[in-house]
Amino acid sequence: MKQSYFVIGTDTNVGKTYVASALIQHFVDAGHQTIGMKPIASGCEQNAQGVLVNEDVLALSVVSNVQAPLDLINPYRFAPAIAPHIAAEQAGVSIQSDVILQAYQQLSTMADVVIVEGAGGFLVPINARETLADVATQLNLPIILVVGMRLGCINHALLTVEAMQACGLTLAGWVANQIDPDMTMFEENLASLQQRITAPCLSVVHWQGAVSFDLLR
């Protein structure tokens, strides 16, 4: 099996790492050599060796059963927990989508499955000209969309799906992740999304619940 996915969220803090980690574990449990990748990470801290590391990257690495150099798993690392293009500007770095593509291509030779986690939402800028959508187009991987289930999620989800379709990308499926424990009309919002998104809903995750992927092999 050779199959990879790009995990993208409707916004920041919607559970991309949680879902990406569960995806990695899903494929590891199925017997596949699997590794996680997060091309761009803000909010990093220096470890004992003085290397910037990100807790999301560490979470992906813990469940991966393939090891690779940090510069491949996470090519761009920034200390401030701010938008990646702004963090890059402050660090005097220009994020390049072709660097991310090359890192992914190397990882794909080392593993059967590469789970790539995005940063922020689909159209978050990565430099003065490009957004995460350009990275997704370069990688051209099937996308799994994490929908943060809270008030306003229907609009965010449908706009993101529309933008992906406009780029000619494939939405393999989506995950409904309840990030607001007090969300009213959860089931009704979920039904509205299921009615309007033609790609399959791969998992419904209630507040702090487990993720399972019955449709992915």
For position 191, which CATH number holds?
Answer: 3.40.50.300
Q: Within a domain: residue 210?
A: no
In whole angstroms, give the CA distance from residue 194 to residue 184.
17
In a domain, 148, yes or no: yes
Is residue 26 in a domain?
A: yes
d(C-alpha 168, C-alpha 50), whole Å:
41
- From the list 38, 85, 150, 156, the catalytic residue is 38
Residue 46's pLDDT is: 87
**How many domains are contained in the chain?**
1
Average pLDDT over residues 148-160: 97
In a domain, 213, yes or no: no
Q: Is the pLDDT of residue 216 over 80?
A: no
Tell whether 43 is covered by a domain.
Answer: yes
The pLDDT value recorded for residue 91 is: 93
Q: In whole angstroms, what is the distance from residue 107 CA to residue 111 CA? A: 6
pLDDT in tens, 82-115: 999 999 999 999 999 999 999 999 999 999 999 9
Cα–Cα separations (whole angstroms), residue 156 to 95, 102, 122, 144, 188: 26, 30, 10, 15, 16
Is 16 noted as a catalytic residue in this protein? no
- Asked whether residue 76 is domain-assigned, the answer is yes
DSSP per-residue string spanning 85-105: HHHHHHHT----HHHHHHHHH
- Asked if residue 110 is part of any domain, the answer here is yes
Provide the domain limits for residue 121. 5-205
Is the pTM of the predicted complex or chain greater than 0.85? Answer: yes
Across 43-60, average pLDDT? 91
